[in-house]
């Protein structure tokens, strides 16, 4: 998003002229007369704020009456005014005249917006009053800096959208106000003056003064940091569902898609919370869309604001990844001609995870008008057309409105509550429509006057961890108590700063890759359960209804490594979900005639299999049988792999002892039964895994899929290693599990036999890992045809046609090589790469493949080839390259991108409690840096192009 600066708004004191010194001398004189200590350091806090706030700060807690305060302010002002007679054009600060000349030559409008009520007089004495397009002063607005009202009034009078304005300020409060107004900002003065604002509010430029400033520098300042911002310029209804996914925000408890607060035809608003499942046809169960907290209706002079009505004069939207804030700026003209500048900002609080926060700023541009905002909780929600909620009572309590609901089938109770903050002059009331309690806010606004509405909403459910005996409504109301938008926002920014300190990945030399990586890590972080070990992350995170919120192997193999190395507690929560759903996995194994635990291909609340057996075909004309829930069995080994990897990375012995070992052994019991004994053509004993689906889902009902067989073998080998470890370090637990799971000598001997004789189709001479039995006997497809297709090869060939062909949704052999990368030689890597990459449907096959293909290419010292696969993964959701981003984020691809960076380009490997690096950066990257935690210790990795790779303790 590139927005050229169209207008510049200058503060006066300290920017245009040094009247700030006169203010200091006037305040100093007043303080001396009152016997109050006051120095230049004290004066720093007075920069840019109103006269009344300055007096409050100067008094340092001394109590005065309203009359005394007025008299003190008048005395100070008289001292200041007396000094103003000294001002001449010679008092313009260095660089000001030259900059104004440059702005005039470029036809860029400029204004002064100052809290000083003497600014017009000062501008006249400086000789610049007639050059200004607009001048607004402290008498123009009620709320002063750091509120945005003064600058938004200036923008309205300039007839310029706020985001196209540049504020030039020398005070921290002024920069804060400019950023709150949605404007680009240039701070003048020492960096330490603006340090707190820089940490909390957003991105802005800084220089010491305006001397020698060039116009290009001024016009290049932006209201966002490109490396941390996903932005949209202009609204296109055709891409709204895609953009809703991209602009999803959340906090690990709930996520909300980036739908418009005021709604739009055919939009897809969703707020999804972990674990809130309800029954549905075909897909068995799904996350239920929560009552909507973004519910908002705005009317101006009786006309409803929506983007499909009136005229959209300007539209900008961006998510600040660094701070977890979503912002939208709209200039809209009503059918009757009223022009409004509207700013929406919202976030899901990362520190108070039951809370969402929304702020709306409304500024009439061209004339006075009457505005009404109705906002509350919308209980009239559905998953597409399926209703999941029965609403109970609703009401208002202590200034909050609320609604109670219950899922129709699963019986989960939910309470949603909301509170608002508005100006004192606004008229508020409560409107209790059935299933939709709302606040109504009405105010008459002059042109340039800003109405602000802050809204907080809380959710509470009966399945919340640690809920205790408290009623859901009691908890929802309590969550709002004492909270404010600004306090939550400040805490939000601090929390995300800490998160990024642990999780950020820095890429230098590639701006597109940099912001894409941060986008995907952000999407993972907002969907990871912070405090709940009974839920996990679905394949579409919490960003859409794709896969209905079900948990797949995506979590363990693709997503969890990022969390293991950066946020291990969150990784542990998601692994504990697998422990708590062991009963469901045991039930599935028993139903299929096996002992132990067979994890569901698609899992929801209980771990029971929830993969739909039938779904509509591509054209919707018939039902298609889905076999993954029946025979895609490798997920049981995938869970074991994640448990082992977590243990390696964290050194969490207690987890392995108390939970992980049991899951590994239960899965091993399943594999011991699932492996089919048979004899080969030479009469030799062997074990087969027949009638399975591997990760390559273009082929079903195959035998001895290389990934499935080798990972089953690896799982059984792991079971022995863990049992040996338990015997040494937790003998009582080892004995208990041997007894509980019947890990008898006979069973263990059988496992050893399976390990020794399971079919692993690996040709030692060529290194080829056979995809599955008979793969190369299927019809060959010209690789050029696969590369040139503009749709999935399964669509091109049909389900049966793809099944009968040598075309892969993803290369199982490459996936296996990555997971067990130290067990295969270079010849095996190269042979399988050369064999399977040309016949893989990279563009429209599995979204899981490209990131691992990038990792694999790095293992073979092909970083530039790896980069092509990496960017294919990085663009999947941002550019909607597969045409399905509207269904939600490809969470596995997001996690795989991190693995491609860390395991692939950086070449990180674990060496006990240490790490090694083997960097292979793309030719145009100059730096790759990130942090990891290994056995609880933070390590910083910094790889410079042509320099030494550093892994230091932090």
**Residue for token digits 């859409």?**
544
> Which pLDDT score is estimated for 846?
93
The per-residue b/e assignment along 35-68, b for 16 or more CB within 10 angstroms, e otherwise, is: eeebeeebbeebbbbbbebbbbbbbeeeeeeeee
> Which pLDDT score is estimated for 891?
98
Phi, psi angles (nearest 5°) of residue 202:
155, -170
> Which pLDDT score is estimated for 629?
97
**Mean pLDDT of all residues belonging to the chain:** 95
Return the closest-CA partner of residue 630 out of 667, 595, 666, 593.
593
| pTM, 2 dp | 0.94
Within 13 A of 622's CA, how many CA atoms are on the CB side? 4
Q: Give the Cβ contact number of residue 84 at 10 Å.
A: 13
Q: In Å, what is the CA distance from 86 to each residue of 48, 499, 505?
A: 22, 52, 55
* Calpha distance 706→704 (Å, rounded): 6
Return the closest-CA partner of residue 550 out of 641, 668, 461, 629.
629
Give the pLDDT confidence of 924-942 residue by residue, as tens digits: 999 999 999 999 999 999 9
Return the closest-CA partner of residue 902 out of 846, 943, 847, 946.
943
pLDDT > 70? residue 951: yes
Cβ neighbourhood burial of 366 (10 Å; 0-12, 13-18, 19+) = middle
Give the pLDDT confidence of 335-346 residue by residue, as tens digits: 999 999 999 999
Beta strand 505-508 with 451-461 is unpaired
* Sequential DSSP letters for 859-884: HTT-HHHHHHHHHHHHTTTTTTTTS-
Cβ neighbourhood burial of 423 (10 Å; 0-12, 13-18, 19+) = middle
**Residue for token digits 């790896």?**
866
Most confident of 73-77, 462-466, 663-667: 663-667
> Which pLDDT score is estimated for 80?
84
* Sequential DSSP letters for 196-222: HHHHHT---EEES-STT--HHHHHH--
Helix and strand counts by DSSP (H, E) for the chain: 32, 37
**Residue for token digits 């709302």?**
438
58 contacts 26 by C-beta, under 8 angstroms: no
pLDDT > 80? residue 627: yes
Return the closest-CA partner of residue 372 out of 438, 312, 302.
302
> Which pLDDT score is estimated for 634?
98
pLDDT > 70? residue 1: no
Q: In Å, what is the CA distance from 70 to each residue of 55, 77, 142, 190, 816?
A: 10, 10, 17, 33, 77
Which residue among the candidates 244, 345, 697, 859 is catalytic per the annotation? 697
* Calpha distance 463→811 (Å, rounded): 40
**Residue for token digits 């707020």?**
271
* Calpha distance 113→105 (Å, rounded): 22
Q: E-assigned strands of 481-640?
A: 505-508, 614-616, 623-625
* Residues linked to residue 10 through DSSP beta bridges, in sequence order: 112, 168
Q: How confident is the model at residue 203 (pLDDT cuts 50, 70, 90)?
A: confident
Return the closest-CA partner of residue 609 out of 624, 625, 623, 630.
630
153 contacts 160 by C-beta, under 8 angstroms: no
**Which residues lie closer than 8 Å to 377 by C-beta, 6 or more apart?**
291, 292, 293, 295, 401, 402, 403, 416, 417, 418, 436, 437, 438, 457
Give the pLDDT confidence of 666-682 residue by residue, as tens digits: 999 999 999 999 998 88
Q: What length does the chain have?
A: 954
* Calpha distance 22→864 (Å, rounded): 61
Phi, psi angles (nearest 5°) of residue 914:
-125, -175
* Calpha distance 836→806 (Å, rounded): 9
Q: Give the Cβ contact number of residue 542 at 10 Å.
A: 31
714 contacts 821 by C-beta, under 8 angstroms: no
Cβ neighbourhood burial of 11 (10 Å; 0-12, 13-18, 19+) = buried
pLDDT > 70? residue 946: yes
Share of the chain above pLDDT 70, in %: 100
Beta strand 623-625 with 451-461 is unpaired
By three-state DSSP, how is residue 313 classified?
Answer: strand
Give the pLDDT confidence of 499-548 residue by residue, as tens digits: 999 999 999 999 999 999 999 999 999 999 999 999 999 999 999 999 99
pLDDT > 90? residue 454: yes
By three-state DSSP, how is residue 603 classified?
Answer: strand
pLDDT > 90? residue 905: yes
CA 627 from centroid of its chain's CA atoms: 33
Phi, psi angles (nearest 5°) of residue 699:
-125, 120
pLDDT > 90? residue 45: no
Q: Which long-range contacts (CB under 8 A, 24 or more apart) does 590-594 make?
A: 593/673, 594/669, 594/670, 594/673, 594/674
* Calpha distance 456→791 (Å, rounded): 44
Which secondary-structure segment (H or E) carries 122?
A: helix 119-126
* Calpha distance 785→218 (Å, rounded): 51
Give the pLDDT confidence of 253-274 residue by residue, as tens digits: 999 999 999 999 999 999 999 9
* Calpha distance 540→549 (Å, rounded): 7
> Which pLDDT score is estimated for 2?
53
Give the pLDDT confidence of 871-882 residue by residue, as tens digits: 999 999 999 998
* Calpha distance 449→456 (Å, rounded): 23
Cβ neighbourhood burial of 826 (10 Å; 0-12, 13-18, 19+) = exposed
Q: What is the DSSP letter of 403?
A: E
* Calpha distance 496→324 (Å, rounded): 7
* Calpha distance 241→66 (Å, rounded): 54
Return the closest-CA partner of residue 645 out of 562, 758, 752.
562
* Sequential DSSP letters for 217-273: HHHH--SS-GGGEEEEES--GGGHHHHHHHT-EE-SSEEE----TT--TT----EEE
Which secondary-structure segment (H or E) carries 410?
A: none
* Calpha distance 414→907 (Å, rounded): 46
pLDDT > 80? residue 467: no
For Cα atoms 27, 31, 36, give the angle at the middle one, nearest 5 degrees: 145
By three-state DSSP, how is residue 825 classified?
Answer: coil
For 523: left if phi > 0, alpha if psi spans -120 to 50, otherwise beta; the answer is alpha
Return the closest-CA partner of residue 188 out of 53, 328, 12.
12
pLDDT > 50? residue 68: yes
Return the closest-CA partner of residue 854 out of 790, 899, 909.
899
pLDDT > 70? residue 3: no
**Residue for token digits 């550093």?**
950
Give the pLDDT confidence of 362-417 residue by residue, as tens digits: 999 999 999 999 999 999 999 999 999 999 999 999 999 999 999 999 999 999 99
For Cα atoms 194, 197, 198, give the angle at the middle one, nearest 5 degrees: 80
For 223: left if phi > 0, alpha if psi spans -120 to 50, otherwise beta; the answer is alpha
> Of 201-210, 591-600, 689-698, 777-786, which gets the smallest average pLDDT?
201-210
> Which pLDDT score is estimated for 814?
98
Q: What is the DSSP letter of 811?
A: -
Q: Once rounded to an integer, what is the mean pLDDT over residues 706-715? A: 98
CA 385 from centroid of its chain's CA atoms: 27
Give the pLDDT confidence of 145-173 residue by residue, as tens digits: 889 999 999 999 999 999 999 999 999 99
- 697 is known as an active-site residue: yes
Helices 863-874, 891-899: axis angle to 10 degrees equals 160
Q: Once rounded to an integer, what is the mean pLDDT over residues 715-737? A: 98
pLDDT > 90? residue 948: no
């Amino acid at each position: 998003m590139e927005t050229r600066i169209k207008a510049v708004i200058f503060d006066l004191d300290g920017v245009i002229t040094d009247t700030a010194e006169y203010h200091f001398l006037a305040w100093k004189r007043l303080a001396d007369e009152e016997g109050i200590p006051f120095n230049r350091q004290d004066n720093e806090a007075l920069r840019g704020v109103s006269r009344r706030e300055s007096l409050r700060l100067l008094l340092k807690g001394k109590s005065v009456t309203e009359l005394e305060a007025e008299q003190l302010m008048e005395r100070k002002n008289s001292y200041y005014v007396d000094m103003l007679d000294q001002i001449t054009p010679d008092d313009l600060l260095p660089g000001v005249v030259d900059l104004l000349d440059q702005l005039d030559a470029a036809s860029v409008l400029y204004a002064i917006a100052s809290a000083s009520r003497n600014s017009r007089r000062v501008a006249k004495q400086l000789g610049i009053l007639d050059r200004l397009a607009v001048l607004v002063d402290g008498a123009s607005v009620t709320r002063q800096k750091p509120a945005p009202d003064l600058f938004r009034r200036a923008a309205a009078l300039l007839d310029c959208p706020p985001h196209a304005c540049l504020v030039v300020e020398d005070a921290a409060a002024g920069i804060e106000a400019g950023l709150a107004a949605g404007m680009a900002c240039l701070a003048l003065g020492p960096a330490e003056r603006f340090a707190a604002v820089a940490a909390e509010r957003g991105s802005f430029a800084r220089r010491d003064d305006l001397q020698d400033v060039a116009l290009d520098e001024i016009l290049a300042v932006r209201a966002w940091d490109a490396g941390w911002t996903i932005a949209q310029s202009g609204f296109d209804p055709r891409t709204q569902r895609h953009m809703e996914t991209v602009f999803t925000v959340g906090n690990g408890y709930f996520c909300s898609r980036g739908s418009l607060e005021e709604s739009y035809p055919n939009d897809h608003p969703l707020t999804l919370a972990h674990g809130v499942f309800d029954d549905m046809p075909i897909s068995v169960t799904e996350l239920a869309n929560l009552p909507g907290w973004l519910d908002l209706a705005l009317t101006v002079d009786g006309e409803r604001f929506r983007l499909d009505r009136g005229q959209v004069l300007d539209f900008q939207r961006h998510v600040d990844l660094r701070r977890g804030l979503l912002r939208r700026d709209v200039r809209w003209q009503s059918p009757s001609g009223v022009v409004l500048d509207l700013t929406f900002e919202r976030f899901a609080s990362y520190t108070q995870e039951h809370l969402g926060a929304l702020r709306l700023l409304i500024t009439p541009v061209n004339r006075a008008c009457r505005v009404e905002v109705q906002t509350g909780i919308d209980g009239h929600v559905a998953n597409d057309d399926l209703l999941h909620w029965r609403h109970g009572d609703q009401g208002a309590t202590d200034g909050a409105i609320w609604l109670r609901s219950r899922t129709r089938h699963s019986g989960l109770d939910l309470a949603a509550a909301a509170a608002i903050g508005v100006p004192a002059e606004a008229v508020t009331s409560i409107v209790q429509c059935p299933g939709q309690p709302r606040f109504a806010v009405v105010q008459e606004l002059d042109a340039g006057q800003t109405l602000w509405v802050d809204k907080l909403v809380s959710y509470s459910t009966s399945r919340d961890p640690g809920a205790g005996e408290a009623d859901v409504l009691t908890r929802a109301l309590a969550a709002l108590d004492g909270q404010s938008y600004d306090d939550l926002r400040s805490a939000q920014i601090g929390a995300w700063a800490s998160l990024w300190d642990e999780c950020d990945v820095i890429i230098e030399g590639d701006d597109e890759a940099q912001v894409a990586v941060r986008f995907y890590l952000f999407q993972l972080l907002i969907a990871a359960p912070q405090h709940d070990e009974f839920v996990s992350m679905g394949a579409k995170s919490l960003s859409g209804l794709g896969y209905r919120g079900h948990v797949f192997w995506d979590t363990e193999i693709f997503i969890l490594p990022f969390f293991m190395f950066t946020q291990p507690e969150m990784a542990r929560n998601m692994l504990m979900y697998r422990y708590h759903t062991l009963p469901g996995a045991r039930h599935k194994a028993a139903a299929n005639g096996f002992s132990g635990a067979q994890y569901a291909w698609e899992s929801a609340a209980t771990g029971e299999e929830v993969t739909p057996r039938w779904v509509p075909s591509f054209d919707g004309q018939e039902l298609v049988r889905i076999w993954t829930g029946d025979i895609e069995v490798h997920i049981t080994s995938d869970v074991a792999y994640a448990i082992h990897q977590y243990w390696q990375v964290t050194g969490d012995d207690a987890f392995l002892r108390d939970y992980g070992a049991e899951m590994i052994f239960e899965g091993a019991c399943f594999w011991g039964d699932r492996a089919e004994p048979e004899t080969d053509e030479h009469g030799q004993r062997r074990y087969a895994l027949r009638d399975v689906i591997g990760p390559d889902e273009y082929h079903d009902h195959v035998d001895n899929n290389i990934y499935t067989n080798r990972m089953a073998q690896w799982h059984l080998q792991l079971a022995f290693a863990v049992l040996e470890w338990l015997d040494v370090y937790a003998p009582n637990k080892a004995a208990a599990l041997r007894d509980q799971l019947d890990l008898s000598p006979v069973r263990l001997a059988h496992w050893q036999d399976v390990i020794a004789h399971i079919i692993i189709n690996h040709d030692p001479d060529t290194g080829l890992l056979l995809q599955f039995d008979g793969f190369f006997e299927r019809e060959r497809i010209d690789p050029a045809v696969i590369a040139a297709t503009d749709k999935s090869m399964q669509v091109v060939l049909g389900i049966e046609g793809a099944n009968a062909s040598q075309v892969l949704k993803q290369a199982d052999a490459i996936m296996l090589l990555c997971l067990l990368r130290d067990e295969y030689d270079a010849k095996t890597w190269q042979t399988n790469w050369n064999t399977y990459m040309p016949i893989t449907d990279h563009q429209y096959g599995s979204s899981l493949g490209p990131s691992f293909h990038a990792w694999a290419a790095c293992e073979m010292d092909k970083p530039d080839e790896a980069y092509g696969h990496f960017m294919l993964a990085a663009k999947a959701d941002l550019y909607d390259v597969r045409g399905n981003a509207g269904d939600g984020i490809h969470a596995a691809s997001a996690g795989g991108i991190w693995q491609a960076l860390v395991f692939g380009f950086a070449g990180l490997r674990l060496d006990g409690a240490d790490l090694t690096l083997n960097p292979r950066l793309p030719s145009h990257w100059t730096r790759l840096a990130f942090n990891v935690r290994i056995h609880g210790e933070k390590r910083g990795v910094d790889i410079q192009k042509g320099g030494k790779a550093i892994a230091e303790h932090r």
